[in-house]
Structure 1
């Protein structure tokens, strides 16, 4: 009998060894820090991805970016300026209370109250000029003018419990006190800069996640993130380091999931100040005027960048050279816009024509823990600019410090990555004339302003006819990019590394949703 028990124990251990560690638990290594658990505080991808586990919005999008029902089961345009949303009945918040139309109205109002947000969500809520609770499960949202994309806009606003969040501060969310949503997971713990733990929500209305517990480890540096996967400390990681893609593909213990994402990387340039803080002559003295306000200088910077080399060498092939503000396949991607050809001699001529035959000096700023090889990208572009006479220095910061400073206008030239499901959405936030009343230009760090672009974006957003909307969005993108409102670099690929025995369908939005990781 003892021998039988030993044999049974050995068999059990052998079987367990074929499964991921803690089959009911999932551990994911995140490539970017989560700066806040308040779902309305800052509109950046790492925070949104984490919030999606705890909170939900009226609509959702699938892995390919297609709009789907969320907390609303249906929606329709009652008239040209009124949308009606029917709520899913019987949905419970984590504290057991029921979701109602009052929670929806409160959640749509809340982003505008967070006046100290470093990246507000108000561009999605400002078009709504009135909200009506028709009944417990029906909400009508009114816009000042016809506005076709509202169902996509509300996808970006998480619905919180009015009771839990009514007087809550962002810190109340970080502590877990106000972290009451309807999502598939509930809050367990948050160690800033280290890890976030979630547990399965047994009352979830939708498909139940495969995992009892999920731990997100913050591993912003490439080497430790990969090492954690190889050592079995995590079951999956985001942003597999480019240098290790081939190595991971060849290892039978792991699986690689990849796809072209919606994210475009580009430069924002200071176009509003006469004296920009990080632009000087080559001796370090301030210039009499800001050269970045001259379209010829902006074009020269674009021509000085060898996008093919940047993609092939610095990014090791994990990107596509960009001439657009949104990725191929996204509404508003202007097909006539091609990546700027590398032309250093043309760049020098443009600088001379603008009055800078000997160039000038500037500092490029960027994050060092957000995008694929971001610090190296900034370094590479600095070297390319120096070759045409623009003496470029580099300063990079962790994401948590970088975004706040960039949005405050602390920099002259700043790197930003942006993903969007529609070009007019992206243009509204990135190059629309900044206006706190409308929410336009909430991420327009360079404060570019062009009434013609604004008019085209507004017309695109007002259109309820898909072909007309796409045409207007492309025209707006063409107008903005011919003016070098921003300087596109590339469209990024997304990569996930998984332990064998776990499967994941890669998403166009690059989000790592734990409930979409499944044991095989």
Structure 2
């Protein structure tokens, strides 16, 4: 079996089929080659950080790839200020405390040429609701969906949920055609979305191919297609930008940024917090006094200066400067437990290689904790190989670069999934009824009162030392000089849309 190349765009087709008929075949072949070369040069070459973890199953974090490629769409979307905008739903209204009605956009067709109907929307949402585990955005939420005619749905929540429309903006609740959902829970987004680009092929964890969807309900894409390569190695991603092998590059490592033309690199302030999760359920870190010892041992400034070369901000809480309102409501944390003396206790510190800086962070943290009296072992692997062990609580400490408003544009969903008793991403294994109650109270509020309640919940989480925020990242995105309209999205939901294109012939 021939394996797909890592960079499928590096060569043009070597030969073309001979044309038959009563005309100049050589002339036609030359014209065809010229047209094909022109279109090939206009395709967007994209180098991405993480390979798919679940064959692009939209219920997983792979959903954010589908949204960044503009192939799968949700009922609503968020603007830069996290305000709701129409997408596959044209309007919505709250009927009462627990019921919402959404009007579905008419005359939309999926990439498999089937129509978007209320039945398709209900099916997609019901699959997500009944999934095990559920998408993080649905943690702690009980809801039901039913069709209301051909182009409307009604969603009912068990309790009042002011965040419901924002939840529906999560890429993990993308609407795919009925044909995308197979047996045994298999979901394939290939030729199943509604966006301006149709996903035509996924080549394992190596690459993916997308073509322009000419029947898109909105403005047709300017680029003829996207050629995606998954390049976990940070040096290789930076090299791809320098050599022109890629037009757009995700997450150039801090160490590589100075080696790239500075006109091609763009810092995007992200709601990413580099956090040390401590195992509260078993092992050395189940002792609150040991967790306090870890907190006191950390030198955040050393990490920001030495690892991130000052392209990051020292963390004051779980929510960083990208959540603009957080700092004004934050209060000093009253830590209830005094730090213990480690006296040689052995702990396992784990992280993953996919984000280039994290293994180096682990080296510095291991030294800091060793200096404090711990005996530190390290476990560093690719994320796809380590996530299940982290979620199962097999490590004493785990370093994670965590997006704090990725799922809904609101921190409640992140805090619930990571720190509640029923959270699906609870690496710290934390279960505190007081924290759960604080999160439930925050979820019921709106406006300034909601913000204050979120910060109160953050304060309670910090007081447990289950998660120690270290720094807030700025992601470095690479764009070749001929790229136009690439999106620099702090929430990492969007990257290429129908207005992104390659302008090789334009004056730079």
Q: CA deviation at 1:405?
A: 2.0
The answer (yes or no) to whether the contact 2:330–2:455 under 8 Å persists in 1 is no
**Residue of structure 1 equivalent to 2:211:** 199
- Out of 60, 70, 77, the residue aligned to residue 77 of structure 2 is 60
Are residues 1:256 and 2:265 paired? yes
**Residue of structure 2 equivalent to 1:496:** 477
Give per-residue Cα distances to partners, 1:205-235, cap 9 Å, x unaligned.
1232221120111111111111122222111
Flag the 1:318–1:67 CA change in 2: closer, same or farther, 3 A: farther
Are residues 1:452 and 2:461 paired? no
Are residues 1:86 and 2:70 paired? no
- Out of 272, 293, 296, the residue aligned to residue 300 of structure 1 is 293
Matched position secondary structure for 2:179: helix
Q: CA deviation at 1:49?
A: 2.3
**Residue of structure 2 equivalent to 1:362:** 347
Flag the 1:212–1:125 CA change in 2: closer, same or farther, 3 A: farther
Give per-residue Cα distances to partners, 1:452-493, cap 9 Å, x unaligned.
211111111112x31111111111111111222311111111
Flag the 1:243–1:445 CA change in 2: closer, same or farther, 3 A: closer
- Please say which of residues 510-519 and 331-340 is displaced more in the overlay: 331-340
**Residue of structure 1 equivalent to 2:27:** none
Flag the 1:133–1:70 CA change in 2: closer, same or farther, 3 A: same
Are residues 1:50 and 2:66 paired? yes
Are residues 1:173 and 2:173 paired? no
TM-score (norm 2): 0.83
The answer (yes or no) to whether the contact 2:93–2:101 under 8 Å persists in 1 is yes
> Equivalent residues in 2 for 1:499-514 (5 A)?
499-503=480-484, 504-511=486-493, 513-514=495-496
**CA distance, structure 2, for counterparts of residue 123 and residue 487 of structure 1:** 23
**CA distance, structure 2, for counterparts of residue 241 and residue 161 of structure 1:** 34
Flag the 1:293–1:335 CA change in 2: closer, same or farther, 3 A: farther
**CA distance, structure 1, for counterparts of residue 455 and residue 225 of structure 2:** 44
- Out of 352, 365, 368, the residue aligned to residue 384 of structure 1 is 368
Are residues 1:320 and 2:334 paired? no
> Equivalent residues in 2 for 1:192-341 (5 A)?
192-250=204-262, 255-273=264-282, 276=283, 291-330=284-323, 333=326, 335=328, 337=330
The answer (yes or no) to whether the contact 2:249–2:479 under 8 Å persists in 1 is yes
Give per-residue Cα distances to partners, 1:76-134, cap 9 Å, x unaligned.
2111111111111111101111111111111111124443x5xx405427624322211
Are residues 1:163 and 2:145 paired? no
**Residue of structure 1 equivalent to 2:114:** 97
Matched position secondary structure for 2:58: coil
**Residue of structure 2 equivalent to 1:397:** 381
The answer (yes or no) to whether the contact 1:266–1:490 under 8 Å persists in 2 is yes
**CA distance, structure 1, for counterparts of residue 494 and residue 295 of structure 2:** 33
- Out of 74, 78, 99, the residue aligned to residue 91 of structure 2 is 74
- Unmatched runs of 5 consecutive residues or more in structure 2: 1-34, 504-508
**CA distance, structure 2, for counterparts of residue 224 and residue 234 of structure 1:** 10
The answer (yes or no) to whether the contact 1:128–1:141 under 8 Å persists in 2 is no
> Equivalent residues in 2 for 1:469-480 (5 A)?
469-480=450-461
**CA distance, structure 1, for counterparts of residue 194 and residue 55 of structure 2:** 15
Matched position secondary structure for 2:188: helix
Matched position secondary structure for 1:514: coil
Q: CA deviation at 1:35?
A: 1.8
**Residue of structure 2 equivalent to 1:406:** 390
Q: CA deviation at 1:155?
A: 1.2
- Out of 124, 146, 160, the residue aligned to residue 146 of structure 1 is 160
TM-score (norm 1): 0.82
Matched position secondary structure for 2:365: helix
**CA distance, structure 1, for counterparts of residue 202 and residue 102 of structure 2:** 34
Q: CA deviation at 1:386?
A: 0.7
**CA distance, structure 1, for counterparts of residue 285 and residue 254 of structure 2:** 33
Give per-residue Cα distances to partners, 1:223-274, cap 9 Å, x unaligned.
1111122222111211112123233244xxx52222210111212221123x
Flag the 1:507–1:61 CA change in 2: closer, same or farther, 3 A: same
Q: CA deviation at 1:335?
A: 4.2
Matched position secondary structure for 1:382: helix
**CA distance, structure 2, for counterparts of residue 20 and residue 383 of structure 1:** 54
**CA distance, structure 1, for counterparts of residue 158 and residue 468 of structure 2:** 33
**CA distance, structure 1, for counterparts of residue 211 and residue 81 of structure 2:** 27
Q: CA deviation at 1:47?
A: 4.3
**Residue of structure 2 equivalent to 1:437:** none
- Out of 149, 154, 157, the residue aligned to residue 135 of structure 1 is 149
Flag the 1:303–1:66 CA change in 2: closer, same or farther, 3 A: farther
Matched position secondary structure for 2:376: strand
